[in-house]
Structure 1
């Protein structure tokens, strides 16, 4: 899309300006300095006159947020990651930051009632609206993903907590069971990537035999992107449904504070990344916050080695899937760990061995 290319070009030009100003004169260019020059940009480049002004401003703010993240990482002593120039394959969206004010539509994206929306610089565009808008629309982002275009509305909705609940549950995240609860429930992992692995391999092999840049190469590349998108959608759908299930039933949910980045570098990395624990915990926390529920994270060290009944520490190999203690406690290993996690999260005391 023309607007997408123009906003990407503006982002790269603004980044170049900031780099040159600092290297040659030791001067920092602010986002407001660059926004004041947009009039001159439109005068010199007539094609920018057809782009909504707030879209250009939001593009410059997007670059400013990238620099803010860069400086905050430098301050914390982390790997900084200086903002990069964006190629065609790394710029897939632009945003209209204001679509509603004082109870009425003031910007683009208003549904026209005939299955279309109006986008400045583009015209009336057909849209398949999968659900009605709720609350007050704030922003509209036009996004391209795997060859398809999406209109993403961000809306402000009223806070509606669920009825209070005294029930608490501990959850253990794993690979044999995606989630095992302290109540004895287990949920199988979705294995979205594993199930599609053979199909992905065939597409990748066919892609490797095509001439780079040819029409067949581009067609197969798009097919591969859509296959990956389908895998991600299936995984995300599973995470949303399971998180909603837990939030609806429990007032307090306790989980391990897992180092998912570290686990993704082990020999189990493919299965860990396929499970998507970090995404699930983020979705769970967001749903719990909107519903007035409580999510507690506890240290993960040793939770699978402790007996939930007597508190005795019993070393187990990863291949041992049953917890059997001298006190007579026999449970699925993951369920036993979930009970320990719940006790740690509620500051509960163990039995006689505690």
Structure 2
């Protein structure tokens, strides 16, 4: 399977200028291509082919005085910017026609130089890894990389990212080795995600919610207040914006690190992992929105899913309408809905006292096992 490996970059001042130039050229090519396609659609013309759009936006544009500066950056960056436009339109059309599952995809929008995140992508003919560990980018030079771990194989492409806090990252796309599959083990686990306890396991373990955003709320508040007092367009306001972005980046990095460590531990210890398919978007519209976003459930479950596929484990999502908080995990009698203030309850059928969250995790595990048996060809109903 293909995975991304991210590393921090340390470009020199001259390389930062070259990267800014590449970001701007890629943004211009993307916007020019989008403008041409929108104009063709408004006039009722057929869709422009990718090769024709590339000749018009890149090849012919370099010969004009208005776009002659496009030749200052690598052509690989410009071609990949148009490829991103084609992918955005393809996803939009597939979403409209129903060929793409999931939430609806909006049509592509114009990119702005004021965006918080800027990216460019290089394919194999636009970058190479030097023996001394530096990353050579076409028309940018050898950029120092902070190698926190080795790449499992040769990368097929690299995306250079500049985030809102001014940090630079290199995101390599690599093909993982099938030998990374872990040996089989016996335990299986169901996970109930929450706010007081981030994760409750079916074996009774409880992971306390770290609440990174809540803990950093005081520093963020002071940074936002300082930003609000700066004059718009001033250098001091630009510095204050960077300080706020760095504070938010620290929170996001801490949350991501926690999710990576916890998901790796769960995948290594269990052969099968089952979670409830929560409607995070719906919960984010309630009064608990800040806590829901701070928990980062979607990011955590996505990590569990791809790590399970990478290491040869089973992963399943249980329907959100399974009454996990109402069903007894011993006799499976539905005891009815209960308010959130009720944390322990006694089953009316078997008189077993349950912890609400642990019982829900066990129901998730039981439902996941039932779904896996059906998916593997088990008998859904007895024969006639």
How many positions carry a matched residue from both structures? 340
- C-alpha deviations, 1:289-338, integer Å up to 9, x for none? 01111111112331011111122323321011123334342232110111
Aligned residue among 188, 192, 208 for 1:168: 188
Verify the 8 A CA contact 2:161 2:168 in the aligned structure 1: yes
2:142 aligned partner: 124
Once residues 237 and 246 of structure 1 are traced to their aligned partners in structure 2, the CA distance between those partners, rounded to angstroms, is 14
Q: Deviations over 1:120-176 (max 9, x none)?
A: 222233332222322121111111011111122112221221111232111111111
Q: Distance in 1 between matches of 2:104 and 2:331?
A: 44
Question: Could you say which residue in structure 2 is the equivalent of 1:307?
Answer: 328
SS of residue matched to 1:65: helix
- The residue correspondences of 1:1-354 to structure 2 (distance < 5 A) are 1-37=20-56, 38-44=58-64, 45-76=67-98, 79-90=104-115, 92-98=118-124, 106-113=125-132, 116-145=134-163, 146-159=165-178, 160-301=180-321, 302-314=323-335, 315-326=337-348, 327-347=350-370
Is contact 1:263-1:269 (8 Å) kept? yes
> Structure 1 residue 25: deviation in Å?
4.1
Question: Alignment partner of 2:162: what SS?
Answer: strand
CA distance in 1, matches of 2:105, 2:274: 33
After superposition, the Cα gap between the structure-2 partners of 1:72 and 1:238, relative to the gap in structure 1 and judged at 3 Å, is: same
Distance 1:323 1:238 in 2: 31
Q: Matched residue of 1:267: which SS?
A: coil
Please identify, of 44-53 and 187-196, the stretch whose mean Cα deviation from structure 2 is larger: 44-53
User: TM-score, normalized by length of structure 2?
Assistant: 0.84
Matched residues in 2 for 1:233 and 1:138: separation? 26
Rounded Cα–Cα distance in structure 1 between residues aligned with 2:307 and 2:341: 34
Any unmatched runs of 5+ in structure 2? 1-19, 372-384
CA contact (8 A) 2:327 2:333 kept: yes
Partners of 2:311 and 2:131 in 1: CA distance: 33
* d(CA) in 2 for partners of 1:82, 1:152: 25
1:267 is displaced (CA, Å) by 1.6
Query: How much has 1:79 moved relative to structure 2?
Result: 4.8
Could you say what secondary structure the match of 1:297 adopts? Answer: strand
- Which secondary structure does the structure 2 equivalent of 1:266 belong to? coil
Determine the structure 1 residue equivalent to 2:376. none
Larger RCO (CA under 8 A, 6+ residues apart): 2
> Is 2:119–2:160's contact at 8 Å kept on the other side of the alignment?
yes
Q: Which runs of 5 or more residues in structure 1 are unaligned?
A: 99-105, 349-354
Q: Deviations over 1:75-129 (max 9, x none)?
A: 239655221111113350100022xxxxxxx54142341x533222222333322
Render the CA deviation track for 1:180-212: whole Å, top value 9, x for unaligned.
111111111121111111111111111111111
Matches of 2:54 and 2:360, distance apart in 1: 55
C-alpha contact (below 8 Å) 1:171/1:255 kept by paired residues: yes
State the distance in 2 between where 1:134 and 1:346 align.
33
| Range that drifts further, 184-193 or 131-140 | 131-140
Tell me the CA shift for residue 339 of structure 1: 0.9
3-state SS of 2:189 partner = strand
Q: Secondary structure at the match of 2:129?
A: coil
Q: Is the 8 A contact 1:108 1:119 kept in 2?
A: yes
- The normalised TM-score by structure 1 is 0.91
